[in-house]
Amino acid sequence: MTTLGENLELVRKRIAAACAAAGRDPRQVTLLAVSKTVDAQTLAQAVAAGQSAFGENYIQEALNKMALLKQLPIQWHCIGPIQSNKTRPVAEHFAWVHSVDRLKIAQRLSEQRPAQLEPLQVCIQVNVDAGASKGGVLPDEALALAREVARLPRLKLRGLMTIPEPAPDFDSACAVHRQTLALFNALRRDGLDLDTLSMGMSGDLEAAIHCGSTLVRVGSAIFGARQ
Ligand SMILES: *Cc1c(COP(=O)(O)O)cnc(C)c1O
């Protein structure tokens, strides 16, 4: 069995190799450790191994860990669905939200972001392959939503996030990731100041980096298979 530190090192090497293969600077790709279902003690071990950005899907679970780990230098990212009655703790406790897919949620997050904190950094989640079972705005609707979100005073729109269906191989993963990259570029051509493409997970981070990802969200390759 490999240790957490070894897993993290392997993932960093995969990212570096994917960047080298794509002719990209590895500093352009952020590793977000996805720590849903991972206990606070294990998360603290990942911090000790040099990881600082963590992604959580379930808000209450994340708040519990934040309370236990508040002395550690962790940047918390919300990557799960947000109901409108849960926006306040998200606005108050996270640095980033990747899963904005409705204007109403974005408006509430902006209104509820405490004045003394930096603006909340947000990505719009795009349902790029139109999987019926998941969140995200359809690609056709992304530009209109992005323009509205970019105007909200306490949010900083950073880019797009996607969770495509698992792909059988590199080429089919790329085919979907390229669509997200094209959408990202179209939004930038429209004048939106975006720098973050949150795509790629344990199984497809190489393909995502090949297609321009700037942030990979990696859970099981770091922490092991979830129960
Ligand atoms: C669980 C999850 C991940 C990480 O998935 P792995 O396959 O374990 O790397 C990434 N992004 C989101 C939104 C997730 O829910």
- Ligand 1 center–CA 88 separation, angstroms: 23
Ligand 1 atom nearest 99 alpha carbon: 13
Structure tokens at 133: 């079972």
Ligand 1 atom nearest 79 alpha carbon: 13
8 A C-beta contact, residue 79 and residue 217? yes
Helix, strand, coil percentages for the chain (3-state, nearest 5): 45, 20, 35
8 A C-beta contact, residue 197 and residue 184? yes
Q: Is 41 in the pocket of ligand 1 (CB under 6 A)?
A: no
Distance of alpha carbon 45 from the chain centroid: 21
The pLDDT value given to residue 227: 75
Residue ranges for the chain with pLDDT beneath 70: 1, 132-133
Residue to mutate, 58, 160, 217, ligand 1, most ligand atoms under 8 Å from C-beta: 217
The pLDDT value given to residue 134: 73
Closest C-alpha to ligand 1, atom 4: 219
Q: Is 57 in the pocket of ligand 1 (CB under 6 A)?
A: yes
CA angle 139, 142, 147 (to 5 degrees): 160
The pLDDT value given to residue 89: 98
The pLDDT value given to residue 133: 60
Q: Tell me which CATH code domain 36-187 carries.
A: 3.20.20.10
Q: Is 155 in the pocket of ligand 1 (CB under 6 A)?
A: no
The pLDDT value given to residue 212: 98
d(CA 171, CA 182): 16
- Ligand 1 center–CA 218 separation, angstroms: 6
Q: Is 158 in the pocket of ligand 1 (CB under 6 A)?
A: no
Nearest Cα residue to 145 out of 112, 183, 198? 183
The pLDDT value given to residue 130: 78
Strand partners, 31: 216
- What single string gives the DSSP state of each residue in 60-87? HHHHHHHHHTTTS--EEEE-S---GGGH
Domain ranges of the chain: 36-187
